[in-house]
Structure 1
Amino acid sequence: MYKHLLVPIDGSATSLGLIDQALAYARATQAHLSFFHACRDLAATGSGAMLLAADPVAYATSAQAPGHALLAKAEAAARAEGLPCDSTLVISDQVADAILEAAERLGCDLVFAASRGRKGFATALSGSVTRQLIEAAQLPVLVTCIDARERLTARYRALSLIRDEHRSLAAVLHGLEHLAQTWRADGPAPDFRLLGAMLFYVEQFPERLHHPKEETQIFARLQARTSQFDTLLQELRAQHRAGGEALRELQAGLIAFERATPGAGERFFEQAQRFIVGQWQHMGVEERLILPAAATQLSDEDWQRIAEAFEGHADPRFRREAGASFEQLFARIAQVAGEAVTTST
Structure 2
Amino acid sequence: MYRHLLVPIDNTDLSIATIGQAVEFARTLGARITFFHAQTNHVSLLHGDAEIVRLVSPADFSYNFEGRARELLTKAESAARAQGVPCTTATAVSDSPYSAILEAAKAEDCDLIFMASHGRRSRVGMVLDSQTLRVLINTEIPVLVSATTCPPIPAVTIGTIRDEHRSLAAVLHAWMHLLREPATPGASDGMELMKAMLYYIQAFPLELHHPKEQEYLFRKLRKRTSSVNAELDELERQHERDHQLVDELAVLLREYEAGNTGRGELEKAVSAYATFMWEHMGREEGVILPAAQRCLTDEDWEEINAAFCDHEDPRFGGDTDAQFRRLFSRIVNLAPSSNT
Q: What TM-score do you get using the length of structure 1 for normalisation? A: 0.86
- Which AA in structure 1 matches 2:35? F
User: Deviations along 1:211-238, whole A, 9 cap, x unmatched?
Assistant: 0111111222222222222222221111
* Structure 2 equivalent of residue 44 of structure 1: 44
Matched residue, 1:84: 86
Q: Secondary structure at the match of 1:191?
A: helix
State the distance in 1 between where 2:124 and 2:169 align.
35
Structure-2 residue corresponding to 1:293: 291
What CA distance in whole angstroms lies between the structure 1 residues aligned with 2:175 and 2:289? 26
2: CA distance, partners of 1:44 / 1:167: 32
* Separation in structure 1 between the aligned mates of residue 283 and residue 126 of structure 2, nearest angstrom: 42
**Structure 1, unpaired ranges of 5+:** none
1:99 corresponds in structure 2 to: 101
- 1:279 is matched with 277
**1:304 aligns to what?**
302
Comparing 15-24 with 287-296, greater Cα deviation is found at 15-24
Distance 1:244 1:191, change over 3 A: same
Three-state SS of the structure 2 residue aligned to 1:125 is: coil
Could you tell me which amino acid in structure 1 is paired with residue 142 of structure 2? P
How far the C-alpha of 1:325 sits from its partner, in A, is 3.4
Contact 2:98-2:131 within 8 A present in 1 as well: yes
Structure 1 counterpart SS, 2:227: coil
What amino acid does structure 2 have at the position aligned with 1:199?
L
Q: 1:192 to 1:61 in 2, by over 3 A?
A: farther
CA displacement, residues 180-224 of structure 1 (integer Å, 9 cap, x when unaligned): 334569997771111111111111110000001111112222222
Residue 193 of structure 1 corresponds to which residue in structure 2?
A: 192
Q: Give the TM-score normalised by structure 2.
A: 0.87
* Aligned partners of 1:26 and 1:33 also within 8 Å: yes
Give the partner amino acid of 1:114. Answer: A
Shift of 1:169: 1.0
Matched, 1:250 2:249: yes
Task: Say whether the 8 Å CA contact 1:183–1:190 is kept in structure 2.
Answer: no
For the 8 Å contact 2:120–2:128, the answer to whether it is kept is no
Please give the residue correspondences for 1:46-195 in structure 2 after superposition, counting only pairs within 5 Å.
Answer: 46=46, 63-115=65-117, 116-119=119-122, 124-125=127-128, 128-147=130-149, 150=150, 152-183=151-182, 191-195=190-194
Q: Is the 8 A contact 1:209 1:314 kept in 2?
A: no
The root-mean-square deviation of aligned C-alpha atoms, in Å, is: 3.0
Quote the Cα distance in structure 2 between the aligned partners of 1:289 and 1:146.
24
Q: Aligned pair in 2 of structure 1 residues 306, 93: CA closer, same or farther (>3 Å)?
A: same
Question: Given the superposition, is the C-alpha separation of residues 40 and 111 from structure 1 closer, same or farther in structure 2, using an over 3 Å criterion?
Answer: same
Q: Is this contact kept in 2: 1:75–1:86, CA < 8 A?
A: yes
Could you say if the C-alpha distance between residues 212 and 321 of structure 1 is closer, same or farther in structure 2, counting changes exceeding 3 Å?
Answer: closer
Q: Deviations over 1:112-149 (max 9, x none)?
A: 122223326788336x11122122212122222232xx
Q: Compute the displacement of 1:163 (Å).
A: 1.1
Q: Identity of counterpart residues, as a percentage?
A: 39
Query: 1:25 and 1:319 mapped to 2: Cα distance?
Result: 41
CA distance in 2, matches of 1:165, 1:129: 28
Deviation at 1:322, TM superposition (A): 4.3
Q: How many residues align?
A: 333
Aligned to 2:207: 208
